[in-house]
Every structure is written in C-alpha cells, then in structure tokens.
Amino acid sequence: MQLPFAESFKIKMVETIQKSTCQEREQWIKEAKYNLFNLKSEQVFVDLLTDSGTGAMSDKQWSELMLGDESYAGASSYYKMKKAINDILGFPYFLPTHQGRAAENVLFSVLVKEGMIVPGNSHFDTTKGHIEFRKAKAIDCTIDAAFDTNQRHDFKGNVDLEKLEKVLTSYPLEKIPMIIMTITNNSAGGQPVSMQNLREVHELSRKYGVRVVFDSARFAENAYFIKQREAGYADKSIKAIVKEMFSYADAMTMSSKKDAIVNMGGFIGFKDEDLFKQASVFGIIFEGFVTYGGMSGRDMNALAQGLDEGTEFDTLDSRIQQTAYLGNQLKKFGVPMQEPFGGHAIFVDVKRFLPHIPKEEFPAQTLAIELYLEAGVRAVEIGAILADRDPVTRENRYPDLELIRLAIPRRTYTNNHMEYVAVALGNVFERRNEIKRGVKILKEAPIMRHFTVELERL
Ligand SMILES: *Cc1c(COP(=O)(O)O)cnc(C)c1O
C-alpha cells in the first residue's frame, strides 16, 4: 500500500481557539457591521481571512530571534538577510521594509508618476492602490482562462503576451515604468505563472526596454507548481527553480508575511545599484535607515531563516497538499471553486454558488457572512467590494469573478480543521436557495474600502 501523505513537521507549542454559538455569531457580525475585518479574533474559530503573517514560525526561526542584532546601522541581522536574499533569490542589493505594501510605496515613489501605465497580471489590491494613488493606471493582461473557473489550465497566472505587447505598443514607452509580474497571481486565485511565461515576458521587456518587477509574495509556491506541472522541472530543486525565476526580473517587491513565513516584514530586491540608491532615499523617509527599514534585527534574522525553509520542497509540499485537501473535501459537497486549486487558498466561485443574488448585492460578501454564521469560519471577499470604484467615474467596478477566499495560514491548522471548514461550507451550499438577498453598503472609504466598509443585510 502506498503510504499516505503526512506533514514534514511536528507541533511544539499550541494556542487555544474558541467555539461559539450561532446566536453569539449573529450578534457579533451585526456589531461588526457585516464586515469580517471588524470581528475580534476570539469571535472566530477557524480563521482563514488571510495567510499573511498568520503562519507558525519554526523552532529555528524562534531561536534566530534571540540572535537578533538591534544596532541602528550595520546590524549583523541586516547582513544575514542580505546574504539570504542574494544567495536564494539572486538580488545583490536590497532594502528592508515593514511589509509588502511598504516595499511598493518605496519603489513606486521612484518609478511611478501621474499618467503612467503599469501592465501586469492582475495587480494585487495594495499594488493597484499604490499605482492609482499616484494617478497612474494598472492594466491587467492576464490570460482569459484565469477568469473561467471551469477551465483547466496549469498556469492561470500567466500574462497574455499579445495583450501585454499591445499595451507596450499603445503608449509611449517612457510612460511605462515597469511590467509587474505577480507570482503567484493572488487575485486570479493563487494561480501560478509558468517559467516559460516569465521568460517570454522578460524577452518582450528587453525588446521594448521596460523593466520587469516581480511582486513576489508567494514566489516559492509558484516554484513548487513549476516543479509539479512544467516540463523539464520535475527533477530540479525548488531553490534552483527560484533562482531561474528571478533571473527574469530586474527588481522584486516582497511581502515576507507570506512565503518567508514571518509575522511581519518585507523588502525590495534590486539588481541595479542606481535604482537601489534612488529608492534608498524614499526608504529612509518612509521606513527607516537602509540597514533596518522598518524591521527589528530579530525579525530580519527570522526572515532570513524563513526564506531558507520556505524554499524547501517538504515545507511547500505540506502546505500545498493541505490546500488541495480542503479543495477535495469541498468538491465532495459540489462546491464550485477556481480550479486547479491555488497554493495558499481555495477560491469559491460565488457566481456559481449564489447565482440568484445580483452583483449589486455583493454575493461574495454575502457568502462570507453566511459561512461565518454557520460555523465561525472567517473567509474574505474577493469580489466587487474589494474591486472598489473606478477612480475616474466612481462607479462600482464589477470584476469577472466573485470569489470568497479561504486562505490557509502556514503550519497552523490541522486537516481536521480543514474538514470542519468543508462541512460548514457544504452545509451553506445545501441551503443556498434559502439565502434570498445580499447586502448593501452604508459607509465606505474612498480607497481600499473593503477593510472598513460598513454594511447592512437586505
Ligand atoms: C500580501 C501581498 C502584498 C502586500 O503585502 P503586505 O505585506 O500585506 O503589505 C502585495 N502583493 C501580493 C501579491 C500580496 O499577496
């Protein structure tokens, strides 16, 4: 008999989580104005809001904390992180930042000016936020297959090279400061980008003289999928694949709260010293001196160790198999999802789950509320509320996909928790026709409204 899959770690420390009653959850979600970001963590049993900064550090990472050097300038922790970034990712210059969006803020302060165009594959919401905040425009060139959850495609995160070349030829090149490749493509459902696509985008970028920046939060998961799915990579190590991937980038931004498995942290990697120097000026204004940039020494140490662990096959295999486990359990209940399953999360296709709720009533948010009420499971809406309003017309933007995301923190929950979540969502699926109406917005912020929006049930 073939041995079953088992995680390549054991648990040394545990944290208690609390169950609640249906009546309690009714009260709490009402008090939270039907925005799951407003819930207290103790009001949640299984928290799949995000995999960002919610993972469990290893014993080696915790021990690195004790070795942190908190010197203001030139700390050994800075050099440890610098070495890890150069050795594992291949970027000789870097700036630490407190998280991923801070890396975007610093880099885009140099590169993005009013009226500019930034093409890429489904820019992440903070990335788009930082582009639009500077009165520039993000153009999504992702392949069409990404928007059809029924269609099987190994690399739904890919850029459509024709769409990209059209952007590169439609605008003056000095208006295009960079192409952003998001690996994995978070907004399309944690979908990977193939090595071939990264290579071809790089070739196109050389033809037009535009730099390529990787938004790299889940680069290691991307490498895992390349190993599993792309011809020629099965026998290569994750670290070798990662090195090749980044050979096609001029710079990178990183939210270390994802694949570097720390609770807080980020950085920018540069190949070009000149760009690094320009960005350093903004790094110092926004984040801190170049050798700590918003991070404490101990956190830089844990990050360096996390980069090493996060690019080991066994770490990734445990993680991605757990995501697939949740997906396969949900499949048994007939729950419609983005497939193939992504790395960090399962994305439920709400247009197929609640087809009778009109888009104006925010069906994905409606489902996230129902799942919370059912079992105290917190998911997040990736739909029209997140898509926000058009910055010019101020009309609601209705994206092609209305999704809820069940993001799985790294090394945190067991498969029993996944089973619990699957049954909870399966129960909601069974009673889906009893959900008659959605929600209405009462209050919203002018940008990135999903974090603070206040809602009412219809
Ligand atoms: C999380 C994330 C970011 C932003 O990083 P933070 O650490 O949350 O600020 C940017 N891009 C992608 C693809 C992400 O997943």
Which of 275, 310, 345 corresponds to the end of one domain? 310
Tens of pLDDT, residues 196-205: 999 999 999 9
The predicted structure's pLDDT at residue 130: 96
Are 49 and 378 a contacting pair, CB within 8 Å?
Answer: yes
The predicted structure's pLDDT at residue 186: 78
Contacts of residue 181, defined as CB under 8 A and 6 or more positions apart, other chains included, come to 120, 121, 159, 193, 198, 201, 212, 213, 214, 215, 249
Contacts of residue 210, defined as CB under 8 A and 6 or more positions apart, other chains included, come to 168, 173, 176, 177, 178, 179
What's the pTM value of the predicted model, to 2 decimals? 0.94
Residue 47 annotated among the catalytic residues of the structure: no
- Do 330 and 440 belong to one domain? yes
User: Which run of H or of E encompasses 29?
Assistant: helix 22-31
Are 366 and 439 a contacting pair, CB within 8 Å?
Answer: yes
Q: Is the CB of 158 under 6 A from ligand 1?
A: no
Residue 151 has pLDDT above 90, yes or no: no
Q: Which atom of ligand 1 is nearest to the CA of 184?
A: 13
84, 102, 146, 217: which is the annotated catalytic residue? Answer: 217
The predicted structure's pLDDT at residue 190: 85
Write the CA distances from 93 to 84, 111, 140, 311, 342, integer angstroms: 11, 17, 29, 20, 31
Contacts of residue 41, defined as CB under 8 A and 6 or more positions apart, other chains included, come to 47
- Do 239 and 365 belong to one domain? no
**Does a structural domain hold residue 236?**
yes
Looking at residue 184, which CATH number applies to its domain?
Answer: 3.40.640.10
47, 51, 215, 349: which is the annotated catalytic residue? Answer: 215
The predicted structure's pLDDT at residue 164: 98
- At residue 150 the predicted structure's pLDDT band, cuts being 50, 70 and 90, is confident
Q: Which atom of ligand 1 is nearest to the CA of 101?
A: 9
**Does a structural domain hold residue 16?**
no
Are 100 and 51 a contacting pair, CB within 8 Å?
Answer: no
- At residue 321 the predicted structure's pLDDT band, cuts being 50, 70 and 90, is very high
Q: Is the CB of 217 under 6 A from ligand 1?
A: yes
- Do 195 and 321 belong to one domain? no
Q: Is the CB of 191 under 6 A from ligand 1?
A: no
Residue 314 has pLDDT above 90, yes or no: yes
Interhelix angle 363-375/22-31, nearest 10 degrees? 140
Are 405 and 342 a contacting pair, CB within 8 Å?
Answer: no
* CA 204 to centroid of chain Cα atoms: 25
Average model confidence (pLDDT) across the chain: 96
Q: Phi, psi (5° rounding) for residue 252?
A: -145, 150
Q: Which atom of ligand 1 is nearest to the CA of 103?
A: 9
Nearest CA to ligand 1 atom 5: 100
Looking at residue 423, which CATH number applies to its domain?
Answer: 3.90.1150.10
Residue 447 has pLDDT above 90, yes or no: no
The predicted structure's pLDDT at residue 203: 98
Average pLDDT over residues 10-24: 96
Contacts of residue 192, defined as CB under 8 A and 6 or more positions apart, other chains included, come to 154, 155, 156, 157, 183, 184, 185, 221, 222, 225, 226, 229, 342, 343
CA–CA dist 431, 426 (Å, integer) = 9
Which of 265, 287, 310 corresponds to the end of one domain? 310
Q: Is the CB of 124 under 6 A from ligand 1?
A: yes
- Do 305 and 409 belong to one domain? no
Tens of pLDDT, residues 26-53: 999 999 999 999 999 999 999 999 999 9
- At residue 118 the predicted structure's pLDDT band, cuts being 50, 70 and 90, is very high
- Comparing CA positions, the residue from 223, 246, 150 lying closest to residue 189 is 150
Q: Is the peptide bond before 184 cis (omega within 30 degrees of 0)?
A: yes
- Do 393 and 426 belong to one domain? yes
**Does a structural domain hold residue 330?**
yes
How do strand 93-97 and strand 377-378 relate by DSSP bridges? unpaired
Site to substitute for ligand 1 among 126, 261, 295, 451, most atoms within 8 A of C-beta: 126
Nearest CA to ligand 1 atom 10: 100
Token pair listed for 447: 């940008």
The predicted structure's pLDDT at residue 425: 98
Q: Is the CB of 182 under 6 A from ligand 1?
A: yes
Express as a percent the part of the chain with pLDDT over 70: 100
**Does a structural domain hold residue 1?**
no
- Do 181 and 319 belong to one domain? no
Residue 450 annotated among the catalytic residues of the structure: yes
**Does a structural domain hold residue 134?**
yes
The predicted structure's pLDDT at residue 315: 95
Q: Is the CB of 127 under 6 A from ligand 1?
A: yes
CA–CA dist 315, 114 (Å, integer) = 42
Q: What domain range includes position 133?
A: 59-310
Nearest CA to ligand 1 atom 11: 124
- Do 368 and 438 belong to one domain? yes
**Does a structural domain hold residue 119?**
yes
Going from the Cα of 262 to the center of ligand 1, the distance in angstroms, rounded, reads: 13
Tens of pLDDT, residues 244-280: 999 999 999 999 999 999 999 999 999 999 999 999 9
The predicted structure's pLDDT at residue 431: 97
Three-state DSSP state, 283: helix
- At residue 189 the predicted structure's pLDDT band, cuts being 50, 70 and 90, is confident
**Does a structural domain hold residue 395?**
yes
CA–CA dist 280, 290 (Å, integer) = 6
**Does a structural domain hold residue 17?**
no
Greater pLDDT, 152 or 174? 174
5, 72, 398, 451: which is the annotated catalytic residue? Answer: 72
- Do 78 and 46 belong to one domain? no
Q: Is the CB of 266 under 6 A from ligand 1?
A: yes
- Do 276 and 332 belong to one domain? no
The predicted structure's pLDDT at residue 201: 98
Q: Is the CB of 51 under 6 A from ligand 1?
A: no
Residue 187 has pLDDT above 80, yes or no: no
Residue 371 has pLDDT above 90, yes or no: yes
Instruction: Give the total number of structural domains in the chain.
Output: 2
- Do 288 and 147 belong to one domain? yes
- Do 354 and 375 belong to one domain? yes
Residue 347 annotated among the catalytic residues of the structure: no
Which of 310, 332, 358 corresponds to the end of one domain? 310
Nearest CA to ligand 1 atom 3: 100
Residue 188 has pLDDT above 80, yes or no: no
Going from the Cα of 334 to the center of ligand 1, the distance in angstroms, rounded, reads: 31
The predicted structure's pLDDT at residue 318: 95
Q: Is the CB of 291 under 6 A from ligand 1?
A: no
- Do 270 and 380 belong to one domain? no
